A = this chain, B = another copy of it.
Amino acid sequence: MGGRRRWSKREFMYRTDEPARTVYKITKGIVAESRTLDDGRRQIIGIRTVGDLCGYPEHRGRYLFCAEALTEVEACAFDGEKFVAFIGRDIDLACALAEDVSDRLRRATRNLTVIGQLKSTERVAHFLVEIHELYVSRHICTHPLTLHLTRQEIADYLGLTLETVSRSFSRLRDMRLIALVGGDAVAILDEDRLSHIAKV
């Protein structure tokens, strides 16, 4: 039904308020969906990867978010209107869509608690556990764990600054819960204690 498309690292798949003509299903790579305020403040609202839908739901025919490729990305592209029409004719597809959106709602509300209630180090611990579980579930996990997000991006995901994220990493390292490997990878040394700090 849909054509295949590719994006290279740091390329944008689409931007907020653009006409939402296409729905994507990621087949390779990792994507950050974000919203940016007029004054430049940015909130990354989700990390998407293989199997995830992107560009849905939209709002009044326009994309709600920006989608930036964090790695090289491949996706199937579906015409938005055909996609909706198709859903309307296939009950299994409609249920699968409801389940997919429900899952994202669960994750979004979990992150609401993370950002609203947790301290900086707890947030970073939660991020590491979450990203690890995500990558394991999609069979794209490495040892050590490659994050694919810069400190700034993690900060924009957790509602912190890059310096605070960096300090939290250092604190978790000093607690011997993780080891920092190069600039973009982390070895989780004590998953139980890390999860315990992550709270949610």
Query: A95 in the interface, Cβ–Cβ < 8 Å?
Result: yes
Give the secondary structure class of A's interface.
helix
Given A88-B91, A95-B94, A108-B109, check contact A37 B117 (CB 8 Å). Answer: yes
- Binary per-residue interface labels of chain A (128-153) against chain B in the complex, 1 for a CB within 8 Å, 0 otherwise: 00000000000000000000000000
Copies of this chain in its oligomeric complex = 2
Minimum distance in angstroms from A66 CB to a CB of chain B: 12
Given pairs A57-B106, A115-B115, A116-B158, 15 additional interface contacts (CB within 8 A):
A35-B200, A37-B113, A39-B199, A41-B117, A43-B113, A46-B109, A64-B106, A87-B98, A94-B98, A98-B98, A98-B101, A105-B105, A108-B109, A112-B112, A116-B159
- Chain A interface (Cβ within 8 Å of chain B)? 35, 37-39, 41-43, 45-46, 56-57, 59, 64-65, 87-91, 94-95, 97-98, 101-106, 108-109, 111-113, 115-117, 158-159, 199-200
